[in-house]
Structure 1
Amino acid sequence: MLDGLHDIDWASMEHAYGSAEEIPALLTALASPDAAERHKAFDRFYGAVHHQGSVYPPTAATLPFLFELTADRAAPDRAAVVALLVSIGRESLERGFEDDGTEIDYYPPTGYAQAIGFLRERGAAFVELARDRDPDVRLAAIPGLGLFIDDTDLATGVLCERLAAEPGVAARLRIVEAAAALALRLPAASPQIRDWLGGLASDPAQDSTTRLAALVQQARCAPEEIGEGVVPAAVGLLRESARALPVRPIAPAPALPTASGDGVAPQIVAAFEDLDRHTRVHAPTTGLLRTFHEALGARVPERTAVLAEQLRSPGPGSRLDAVRMSGELMREWRGDHTRLLQLVASQLATDEQEIAAEAATVLESCHPIAAPAREALAAHVDSHRATHGPNVWATPQPQLRRAHQEAVRALARLGDTRALPSLLTALDSGVDAWRAIQVAGHLPQAAQQLVPGLDAHLRRLDLSQQWNEMSANAILRALATLGDSAAVPVVVDTLGAAVRDEQHDITRSALKTLAVFGPAAAGARNMIRSLSKTTDGHVPSAAVAALWAVGGDLDEVMPLLLNLLDDPITFRISDAADLLGEIGPPASVALPRLRALLRHDYEWVRVPCAAALWEIGGEAEASAVLDTLLEAWAQNPATANHVVACLDRMGPLAAPALPLLRERLAQPGRGDRFQSIAHDEELQRASRTVIARLDPPTPGAATVRVT
């Protein structure tokens, strides 16, 4: 076993974390009789040698030895080794070639081409593994039939054979998926395989889950050919499949290592918990349905119909996965999501607290469009408080606590004061207060009630401890949004502590908060002035902005702003340009430098400088400003919100932007700025406003809303 392992110069190669010299020990450990040692070796292999799917030269070099391990029927964890082989091959196929089939040239070098070649040469080995007496080995090997065999007749023959022989749902789903992978990899085989899939989908002798899988995979092979009858047929098969599959409770999440307390921010702990939560799959058909949604793409009404059926499933795991998929649809695609929001909100009433919590989480993440769920959220929060008491926010029952907190947060993000009692409970008790702080700024009408608690939490933070940075910044953002000048003293004290403890990010946040308070923070002017001359990160530009806000002394801030325009650090230039635009025509001395910066090689410098140029110079600068904005938008769609905001202010002079505005508004995806619902909804609103102003509809003509 593993002959020749030590003949390879592993130390001369590198994986994700440096030298690959540990690989012989890892491969040996994969065959260990000690289960704990094998588990540790697999973890390390996936974490370093096959890091996040990457295939390095040493990864490819392990393939002959991994095959040796699969050949020994007495070796433990053979199925896991086969799964590792398939993962390496799949990732190599997906990442190793451009769309035109040419090999991608990476630096540092990768092992994609070597891995693909090796696995295709040994494609026949997957035929034997797919017939293995161990069902787990067969299950792991089935995808290899579609990925690594170039003989279409051989591959399809084995797939048909295995479909007839395999009784399990998981295996049958993988067989049908492998057939589609084969069709997509070998276009000449596609018609034959698609016909086979179509026959399976319409064969009443097949079980409903297999028929659904065949229908979905056929759609995956040719999404452009999905006809009107496909979604209704899929919904019907999904309903039959849900009735046929056994209903199982949601499996409890595995215990994660918990932070010891000091040294790890609670936000970080929660982020890892969320990551683990969102990588878990609870129903056997979830992967298949994800494939269907990917094939349907921008067809929002059809996808909503499928999700509606998923959300009616008798299986709680299916409903939980469907809630998450609903959030993904709304975050990625534009459209009227009212029905889907209401369907997700209906899951709040379930007895399954994990589903209710996930529904609330989705509604929070979609808060800019979640108004249709407002009353359901409020009823859910009120029901919790009536049933479990006013301190339910801090209940020791983890699932109930998460369900309540997520619903409160979602309601608060809608600006609904019915969230306020639980937020105040959080601030008073200190239990998960950071979660309340993150949403407190959405209730400015309750500022007088919220600010004292926020002040108290900010005063208690030890800013000498790095892990408190996230909490301090969150509180400062909330105070800035609430805008109650009663918070000025604590913000000034926080600024002093942050400067003393060299917490530059907190210093910047405190300065931005003081800028919101304007002249009410004039007592801190000397401290702010001293910080305008520092060289720490964003601090100098934030200090200049605060200095202008609290004092309004143009003679004082203009030299500082001109210096920032000459700074080699790009974000300082952008910050200075933003403030110059706010000052407007009195800042005309900056016009020559702003004009020169329109030639900067970074679009995130050019756009704010162009916007400032318009605010200061007006119509005389319109041509250069417009050219810069449209060029930057075409180059980097993430600049869209900033560009359209300036176009809105330019009025009729923005007319040449109409074609691009219409083109981008007609796009179905939320792709312009980080697929953020908030950014995209604001972009759509602003774009419609500009279009309506520049090209008003003819009186009496029908108005069509583009989504």
Structure 2
Amino acid sequence: MAPEQTRAQQPGEITGTSSGPAPEELPARVTDDVDAYPWSTVSHAYGSAEDLPGLLRVLAEGGPDAAEEAVSELYGSVLHQGTVYAASAAVAPFLARVAAAGRSRADLLTLLGGMAESEDEHGVERGAVRAAVAAQLPLMLPALSADDPEVRRAAAWAVAHTREARAVLPGLRERWVREPEAPVRAELLSAVSRLAPDEGAALAREALAPTGAPPGPPTDGPTDPPTGVPPGAPQVLLAAVFACLDAGVPWDAAQHSALLSSLPADPLGSDSLDLARTEPLHAVVEALLLRDTEEDRAAVAALLDTALHDGRAEVRTEALWAAEQACRLSRGTRERLLPSLLPLLSDGASARGAVSLLGGIGAAAAPSVPALLALATVNADTDTDTADDGTEGVGITGERIGRDTDLADRALGVVAVLAPEKAAPLLARDLGRRPWALGSAAGIRAPEGTRFPFDRRLLAAVRVRLTEPDLPSGEPWQLTRLLRDWGALAAPALPELCALLPRHPQAAEAIAAMHGAEAAAEPAVVDALRAAADGGPLVVARALHRWTGETPELLRRLDEELAGGPEAVTRAAGAAGELGAVAAPLVPALHAALSGADAAGTTSVLDADTAIAEALWRITGDASPSVPVLDSVLARAAGPYWFRWNALRAARAAALLGPAGRPLVPRLEVLLADPEQAPVAVLALIAVAEPGSLDRRALADTVLTSAEQGASAPEACDALEALGATALTPDHIRRLGALAERDLQVVRRGLEDQVVRADDALRAQARAVLGALTGDLSRAAPPDGRGRPRPTPALPG
């Protein structure tokens, strides 16, 4: 029979026995009752919960090591990466009983608290898991008075997450009065704050008040810390700071001083039960910036400036990590922090972190180029730091930073993005020891669509490097990509590239880009490509076609690829589509490579089908074969999160069809509900739908919402421009202006060193679109003193 506690709980109701059985009876109760529950009817992360009785018996009866392993397995199944299931609700009463018996008590209370905290519920009624945990409060609340402080701490964490304030707060208050251990006292403060933010803030103000200062507003009962808790214990101070933030208390000097006095705080945070606050300084900075006020941005700048100038390396390390988060959240904070960051480039313990941060903040780091050059121009083989122009490097003090070749390389890699013309001669001088900078020059960390400027000295260095017999893994790709981007200007390197072909066929990409630049080299290049094409990869056959215009070898190779796996089919279909009508002999092979509407969908299969549909259209100009393929892809991609990118690629392909893709409109409209997919879907609908059938104002609202969430923001700007000025209301214009001018960064997800650049690109694009739609770029809403856009006047009409 299922335990009664797993039923949905009514608001405010506490179920379960009032006192429970005696502790010595509980292990027996668990093993007696566990088989009565129909475990096969509920599931956890790995399917049926039929394995849970065995784990419960180990917890109740096994040794410490076996019990620890059982707890770990339970975390993996009933609280898998923060997700809870029907089995989580079912097992909660048994876990509480085992904990009440004193077995793995702190671990199980923490697990129960995590289950109650979760809002990521899978296959279970919303709130059912939390209700099941709350039903065990009669067994959990006594743990607030346990002898073991770790049990008391876990109990405070767990009971607060049930959200049953009336039942829990009295016990927390009573324990706060007499709790002697600082870590437990901190958890009690956090627990009170979670259930009653104003009461938590009042306790926090008292904890933050300096000795002899008047306390904040009174709370029920005495609150002086008991004997044994030192004034200003860092765990309590941190909990007080977070309690103030959670209650919306304005930042003040007491919080500022408390946080700084707790640094380095990461050792304290690493023991936190709140996984969102294991890095306290980082978490405080994020919370303040998300409040989006000028006062809070100033507070962050003051905090980080002080911490970045701290004499302890571990504090500076924490501050750099928090500063990185600040720069990803707040556009204005990047410039604000730059003066505090530059001195760290001459600090042996902090220079690496400072270089990394500067490499990730885009154009805001431009003033750091001279200091980065000083770091990058260090010659690791000598005792003199000499720049390329003969001047000695400056600003390098402390440890012998110049002997850290990797650090100099990374500094040069940042310069290669910020000021590539200044990086080129340094990269040429020491190319073999600059893999990071070479990667930047090859475009790995550069903004999309940019190319490293041509430099003759660097070309000469690349040619020498290509003759090395044993290049490190990855370097041939970087070298050839740089040459490819230079195109005809890099033609003098054709002999080295041809010699490299047998070992690194990707060199064919660069060779293809140089076609027509040096007619005298053509016979030798063609001979090298023919030799490499025999049994070589597709990239060589494509380069041979580029140089000769001959199609037989390329068509043969594409035909082979179309008979391969989904990834090969995707590559071959893309190449066939680029050929256009010349690839007509491949049409049967393209049809044969389709997976079929009823085929099991995987991401690679769906992408292959999309590539085939696009190729058929480009080759034949007939949309009739492509429409059903894309319809099938969009149907199979609907629903599961992991297929959303397949749907986006299919939508982009649908847009190419124009009005011929009109049968796909219902499928495309489904994508409008997903912020990630909506902008691309709108672009596709504009291309394929009957113009008068679209509610353009509603579509504009949809894509603006996507952009505001940082979801497909560049496509959202493209969609707004495609919709036209008549689709935008004055409120739409205001929101578009905010995207361009607000302080909070819009794009927050992506590669570590690209996310800020992506946001910079979005700002520029939003400004351009705003100017195009209004006819006056000055009408883009500039930020006011608090970082929010000023109202924009309504458009005429």
2:191 aligns to what? 178
1:44 aligns to what? 73
Cα deviation, residue 175, structure 1? 3.6
1:143 aligns with one of 135, 150, 157: 157
Tell whether 2:665 aligns with 1:633.
Answer: no
Percent of aligned pairs with the same residue?
19
Tell whether 2:240 aligns with 1:161.
Answer: no
Tell whether 2:134 aligns with 1:117.
Answer: yes
2:298 aligns to what? 301
8 A Cα contact 2:680 2:719, kept in partner: no
Q: Output aligned runs, 1:686-697, within 5 Å.
A: 686-695=765-774
Give the Cα separation in 2 of the matches to 1:543 and 1:335.
46
Q: Which runs of 5+ in 2 are unaligned?
A: 1-25, 213-230, 386-402, 489-508, 513-528, 530-536, 543-556, 595-604, 635-644, 789-797
Q: Residues 181, 602 of structure 1: CA spacing in aligned structure 2 closer, same or farther, 3 A cutoff?
A: closer
Question: Which one-letter code corresponds to 1:493 in the other structure?
Answer: V
Give the Cα separation in 2 of the matches to 1:11 and 1:696.
65
8 A Cα contact 1:332 1:669, kept in partner: yes
Q: Output aligned runs, 1:50-61, within 5 Å.
A: 50-61=79-90
Question: Which one-letter code corresponds to 2:134 in the other structure?
Answer: G
Give the Cα separation in 2 of the matches to 1:665 and 1:83.
48
Q: Which shifted more, 143-152 or 11-20?
A: 143-152
Tell whether 2:116 aligns with 1:92.
Answer: yes
8 A Cα contact 1:281 1:321, kept in partner: no
Q: Residues 623, 389 of structure 1: CA spacing in aligned structure 2 closer, same or farther, 3 A cutoff?
A: farther
User: Given the two structures, how large is their TM-score scaled by the length of structure 2?
Assistant: 0.60
Give the Cα separation in 2 of the matches to 1:559 and 1:326.
54
- What's the secondary structure of 1:600's corresponding residue? helix
2:756 aligns to what? 677
Q: Output aligned runs, 1:24-35, within 5 Å.
A: 24-30=53-59
- What's the secondary structure of 2:453's corresponding residue? helix
8 A Cα contact 1:427 1:453, kept in partner: no
2:242 aligns with one of 217, 234, 243: 217
- What's the secondary structure of 1:204's corresponding residue? coil
8 A Cα contact 2:345 2:354, kept in partner: yes
Question: Which one-letter code corresponds to 1:658 in the other structure?
Answer: I
Give the Cα separation in 2 of the matches to 1:522 and 1:423.
44
- What's the secondary structure of 2:74's corresponding residue? helix
Tell whether 2:659 aligns with 1:591.
Answer: yes
Deviations 1:488-527 (CA, angstroms, capped at 9, x unpaired): 3676238759927935446646876999xx8xx9999689
Cα deviation, residue 301, structure 1? 3.2
Give the Cα separation in 2 of the matches to 1:635 and 1:477.
37
2:232 aligns with one of 203, 207, 211: 207
Q: Residues 670, 385 of structure 1: CA spacing in aligned structure 2 closer, same or farther, 3 A cutoff?
A: same
Q: Output aligned runs, 1:460-499, within 5 Å.
A: 486-488=510-512, 492-493=539-540, 496=557, 499=561
1:8 aligns with one of 24, 34, 50: 34
Q: Residues 135, 665 of structure 1: CA spacing in aligned structure 2 closer, same or farther, 3 A cutoff?
A: same
C-alpha RMSD over aligned residues = 5.7
Give the Cα separation in 1 of the matches to 2:333 and 2:316.
22
Question: Which one-letter code corresponds to 1:156 in the other structure?
Answer: R
Q: Residues 483, 181 of structure 1: CA spacing in aligned structure 2 closer, same or farther, 3 A cutoff?
A: farther
2:496 aligns to what? none
Q: Which runs of 5+ in 1 are unaligned?
A: 97-103, 185-189, 252-276, 391-398, 462-467, 549-553
Give the Cα separation in 2 of the matches to 1:288 and 1:572.
39
8 A Cα contact 1:344 1:359, kept in partner: yes
- What's the secondary structure of 1:51's corresponding residue? coil
1:600 aligns with one of 635, 645, 669: 669
8 A Cα contact 1:538 1:572, kept in partner: yes
Give the Cα separation in 2 of the matches to 1:37 and 1:423.
56
Question: Which one-letter code corresponds to 1:686 in the other structure?
Answer: Q
Q: Residues 650, 140 of structure 1: CA spacing in aligned structure 2 closer, same or farther, 3 A cutoff?
A: closer
Question: Which one-letter code corresponds to 2:144 in the other structure?
Answer: V
1:319 aligns with one of 313, 316, 321: 316
Cα deviation, residue 208, structure 1? 6.8
1:267 aligns to what? none
Q: Residues 160, 473 of structure 1: CA spacing in aligned structure 2 closer, same or farther, 3 A cutoff?
A: farther
2:204 aligns with one of 197, 203, 209: 197
Cα deviation, residue 290, structure 1? 1.5
8 A Cα contact 1:412 1:443, kept in partner: no
Deviations 1:2-59 (CA, angstroms, capped at 9, x unpaired): 2133432444432211233333443454578866544433332222232113333443
- What's the secondary structure of 1:538's corresponding residue? helix
1:340 aligns to what? 337
Give the Cα separation in 1 of the matches to 2:660 and 2:46.
49
1:126 aligns with one of 134, 143, 153: 143
Q: Which shifted more, 598-607 or 693-702?
A: 693-702
- What's the secondary structure of 2:317's corresponding residue? helix
Tell whether 2:169 aligns with 1:152.
Answer: yes
User: Given the two structures, how large is their TM-score scaled by the length of structure 1?
Assistant: 0.67
Q: Residues 2, 121 of structure 1: CA spacing in aligned structure 2 closer, same or farther, 3 A cutoff?
A: same
Cα deviation, residue 388, structure 1? 11
Give the Cα separation in 1 of the matches to 2:627 and 2:353.
45
8 A Cα contact 1:597 1:605, kept in partner: no
Give the Cα separation in 2 of the matches to 1:505 and 1:329.
39
2:453 aligns with one of 442, 445, 470: 445
8 A Cα contact 2:736 2:766, kept in partner: yes
8 A Cα contact 1:581 1:615, kept in partner: yes
Tell whether 2:621 aligns with 1:558.
Answer: yes
Give the Cα separation in 2 of the matches to 1:214 and 1:321.
18
Give the Cα separation in 1 of the matches to 2:622 and 2:462.
36
Q: Residues 564, 90 of structure 1: CA spacing in aligned structure 2 closer, same or farther, 3 A cutoff?
A: same
Q: Which shifted more, 332-341 or 504-513?
A: 504-513
2:327 aligns to what? 330
8 A Cα contact 2:266 2:279, kept in partner: no
8 A Cα contact 1:364 1:410, kept in partner: yes
More helix by share: 1
Aligned residues: 612
Q: Residues 13, 512 of structure 1: CA spacing in aligned structure 2 closer, same or farther, 3 A cutoff?
A: same
Cα deviation, residue 477, structure 1? 8.6
Give the Cα separation in 2 of the matches to 1:157 and 1:669.
42
Give the Cα separation in 1 of the matches to 2:561 and 2:780.
61
Cα deviation, residue 482, structure 1? 6.6
1:257 aligns to what? none
Tell whether 2:736 aligns with 1:661.
Answer: yes
Between structure 1 and structure 2, the one with the greater Rg is 2
8 A Cα contact 1:380 1:407, kept in partner: yes
2:50 aligns with one of 14, 21, 32: 21
Deviations 1:301-356 (CA, angstroms, capped at 9, x unpaired): 3323223333334443333333223222322344342233554555444433xx55
Q: Residues 43, 436 of structure 1: CA spacing in aligned structure 2 closer, same or farther, 3 A cutoff?
A: farther
Q: Residues 231, 531 of structure 1: CA spacing in aligned structure 2 closer, same or farther, 3 A cutoff?
A: farther
Question: Which one-letter code corresponds to 1:591 in the other structure?
Answer: P
Give the Cα separation in 1 of the matches to 2:588 and 2:464.
30
8 A Cα contact 2:289 2:330, kept in partner: no
Q: Residues 288, 182 of structure 1: CA spacing in aligned structure 2 closer, same or farther, 3 A cutoff?
A: farther
8 A Cα contact 1:92 1:116, kept in partner: yes
Deviations 1:100-141 (CA, angstroms, capped at 9, x unpaired): xxxx89548885134332343334313212xx1x34444444
- What's the secondary structure of 2:135's corresponding residue? helix
Q: Residues 47, 218 of structure 1: CA spacing in aligned structure 2 closer, same or farther, 3 A cutoff?
A: closer
Give the Cα separation in 1 of the matches to 2:439 and 2:780.
53
Q: Residues 334, 494 of structure 1: CA spacing in aligned structure 2 closer, same or farther, 3 A cutoff?
A: farther
